[in-house]
Every structure is written in C-alpha cells, then in structure tokens.
Structure 1
C-alpha cells in the first residue's frame, strides 16, 4: 500500500464452510451453522476494535432457498436467536445494523425482529454491520437499474446511487473463507476495485486474528484503480 492510500474502511466476508466444518467432526450441519454464529460475534467485535467503518457479511442468499427445508428453518432460528441474544450488546457497542437484500420475504416474526433491531441501532455512529439477507447481486443491480431509469438517464453513477450499499463506504476488501475462490453472486458491482483475500480457514474457525491478518495483507497492497 502506498503511503497516501487509506486504511481499510469497508470489509465484506463470504462466510463459507459451516457444513464442511460439521462434516469433518461428524456433527449435524446445524451445529456448523451454530458455530458460524459464534464466529460472527468474534469478527464483529474485531471489526470494531480495528476501526472498520463497515463490515458486510453474506448471511443468506437468494439461492439459499434451494437448500433443504429443515436447513433453511435452522438458519432462520439461528438468526432469531442471534438478534434476541446479541442485540443489546450490539446496540451498547454503538454498532449500527443494516440489512441489504429483501428481508421482507421472510416470515412475519423474523421481519418484526429485524425491523426492531434496525430501529434500535439506527442512531448508532460506530461500525456499521451490514447483513446480506435474501440477497443476490444480480437482483440488486436489476432493482438499482430499474430505480435509476425511473428517475432519468442510466449511468454508472445513477445505478450506484440506488444500490443497497449506497450509504456505505466503497468496498475495500472481500474475504472468502473455506478455500473457495468465487463470488457467488455477492456484491458484484461493489467489488470492481476491491481487493480479494481467500483463506482455507473454515468459517466456524475464523477469528478476529484472521480478520486482522487479512486487513494487514490488504494494507500492504498497492491499489492502482486501472492506473500504473
């Protein structure tokens, strides 16, 4: 990283490997998701400590509805438990919760919990935790282009202004765990000039120290934005 280059402000994570973590230990897949929630807690705390302005996590994609019904139900239950058990700590830590994607497609009790959490943290000014729920980048870009067209000429700037992340800092770093190296329909517009960091660590084993290592690697890179 050049001396004039700012430190990371916005980091996104594709949290991958819950199922493989459980399979390696001969545990139910649901246990992998449960341990994955614990990793979220650690990483959110780390994001605050490292001074990130925004942390975006890929929690539930538009494609995840294709998973077995019992697994989708387990994920919804874990999400509700996370909100109920962690909201007070998140709010007290000055973390602002944001949702990207169409969370209103979930059941009414889940929507009610999410909207209560959004309302409770709306005035917070610390790290923004953006959770991608029922999110797919193709859908986001299509919605943004439609909204931009309704207001006037379509340009990159007018589309960007309608994205779910329009009020967040530009994405600096995208992390994917578990050794996979693909984007899986996540933040396709936003990654145009982001740096990528892939790790073999399975998500339930990911810690704040792993996040720090990824940020350290990012901050040693030189970002050229198409220049030399």
Structure 2
C-alpha cells in the first residue's frame, strides 16, 4: 500500500458553481469554504501530514477587481474566525507565494503563521499569489546570485516548498484537465486525479475514494 504524506488540491469551479446555483460567482467562493473545512477534517482522519491548497494564483490578478477584493476579504475573515480553532486542532498554517497583499491581510497571514508555527498534527500550505514559473525563475536567480552549481539538490533549497515533501496526490476539481502553473517541479511523479465535480460539491466521500484509488496504484518512478 502506497504511503501518503502530502495531498495538493486545485480547488476549481467555485465561480461556475455560484453562477449555476446562486447567479453569483462570489456565492460559489463562499460555498467553497465549507468544502475546505470538510477536507481538512478528513485529512486529519486519514493521518496525512501535509495539505496544500491552491488558493490564489499569480494569474488570478487578471480577474475583475471586485471579485479579487471579495476573495481576499473572504480569506481575511476566514482566518480571523478560524485561526483559533485551527490552532486548537494542532494545525500549522504555512504560506507559499509572495505576500504583497494589503497591510492588514499580510499582518493576519504573518500572525496566523507565527501562532501555529509549532503545531504538528497537520500542515496546511496555502498557495497565495503563487505561480510555479515565478518560483522556479526565482530559484535559478538565487543559484546564480550565490554562485552555486545548478543541480537538483541546490535548486530545491530555493523552492518555496523546500522543507515540504513532494505531494503524492494532486486533485483538481471542476472538470478541467490542466495544472495552471501549480507546483510544476514538485509534481514530477505525483499521481493526478481530475474530478468532474465543482469544488463546492466535492466532499469527504469523493476524497476518500481518491485516496483508496491512490493506494492501489503501482508506483514505479521510472522503473519497471
């Protein structure tokens, strides 16, 4: 049976769900938070150590300003409301990406990370203003700046996931089959599951089904 330490998720389909159900993309983003909470609980039940959630990409800045503002306010309010609960559950919050948000949101992110930094039950990596191409370019720039030899070992030191094991599973909801500039280096040998359901409809049973399927896969990593 395959060991499972890290699950990464592209939570796609919130906006489409909102338009379909409530005639509002923002309603879908709000509903998506309920799925986040369900998956966090199930991740703990499954004794998985790392959960990485693609929350806001570098490309998401292209969206309408009103939607961006709503998304970031939603994140801000979620952390203010839930950080104590996450802390009590022994959950560590870690941000990957570039924190160039408002002073208020940056402060909330920093406080949340600091408060939960010693927790050990589950590490949730929020990919915020994250893009894998930027991450890789930045890693190469640092190698060059520090006059280091280009090697896999040295490059990994400068990735934003440098202390995090690569995910064994990547799930993308929303019936879209692409990676969208997410963890391109880290998922070289990750098992990828594309789920038809939109993110707000994705539940614990869907998650468990994927985990069970993963555990039956013969993983060769290039060998026979």
Q: TM-score range by the shorter chain?
A: over 0.9
TM-score normalised by structure 1 residue count: 0.95
Distance 2:205 2:76 in 1: 27
Task: Determine the structure 2 residue equivalent to 1:159.
Answer: 155
Measured after TM superposition, the shift of residue 215 of structure 1 is 1.0
Using the TM superposition, give the Cα deviation of residue 126 of structure 1 relative to its aligned residue in structure 2, in angstroms: 1.3
SS at match of 2:187: helix
1:26 is displaced (CA, Å) by 3.8
Q: d(CA) in 1 for partners of 2:153 and 2:111?
A: 32
Q: Does 1:203 align with 2:199?
A: yes
Kept in 2, the 8 Å contact 1:98–1:131? The answer is yes
Q: 1:184 aligns with which of 180, 195, 199?
A: 180
- Work out which of the residue numbers 112, 122, 126 in structure 2 matches 1:127: 122
C-alpha displacement at 1:208, in angstroms? 2.0
Secondary structure of 2:142 counterpart:
helix
Give the distance between the partners of 1:26 and 1:121, measured in 2 at CA: 35
Query: 2: distance between equivalents of 1:171 and 1:131?
Result: 14
State TM-score, norm by structure 2: 0.97
Q: 1:111 aligns with which of 106, 111, 123?
A: 106
Contiguous gaps of at least 5 residues in structure 2:
none
**Is the partner of 1:109 in helix, strand or coil?**
helix
**2:158 and 2:220 mapped to 1: Cα distance?**
26
Contact (CA 8 Å) 1:18, 1:204: kept in 2 or not?
yes
What are structure 1's unaligned runs of at least 5 residues?
none
* Aligned residue pair count: 223
Q: Indicate whether 1:143 and 2:154 are aligned.
A: no
Shift of 1:15: 0.2
